[in-house]
Amino acid sequence: MSTQKRILLAKMGLDCHDTGIVTVAQILRDAGYEVVYLGLHNDARQVIKVATEEDVDAIGISFLSGQHMTQVRRLLDEMRRSGLAVPVICGGIIPDEDARALREMGVAEVIPAGTLSAEVARRVAGSLAEPA
């Protein structure tokens, strides 16, 4: 049985900019995580379905489109309905005031675009150490 942590990474909504999340996937693999990359154009139910099927330890969602508040609210609501309790980590272009609001909604960590690789891995590890 593997003790390697599994993280689901996905893009939600109409956001089709995936360079950042693909880079984060590689950063996390290099840091020893097993990464399940769901790809582009997902909705909350798809993310929850795969997260449950893959038995992941965390969900990472990346945004560049400005849809982060709406999409994360939908994701967190769907997680509550389904009973899935894993940390949600958001990354990308998210204004500071929205990052605060996302944390208040229940997001474990918000990692801005341009964060150095070692810091991304450190912040993800910190999120996994905290209860969901």
Domains contained in the chain, CATH given: 6-126 (3.40.50.280)
Query: Which is nearest to 31 in space by CA: 114, 127, 113?
Result: 127
**pTM of the shown model:** 0.94
Q: What is the CA radius of gyration of the chain?
A: 13
Which ranges of the chain does DSSP label H, i.e. alpha helix? 19-30, 44-53, 68-82, 96-105, 117-129
Q: What is the pLDDT of residues 42-88, one digit of tens each?
A: 999 999 999 999 999 999 999 998 899 999 999 999 999 999 999 99
- How far, in Å, CA of 10 to CA of 51, rounded? 10
Q: What is the pLDDT of residues 17-37, one digit of tens each?
A: 899 999 999 999 999 999 999
Q: What is the pLDDT of residues 50-62, one digit of tens each?
A: 999 999 999 999 9
3-class SS of residue 32: coil
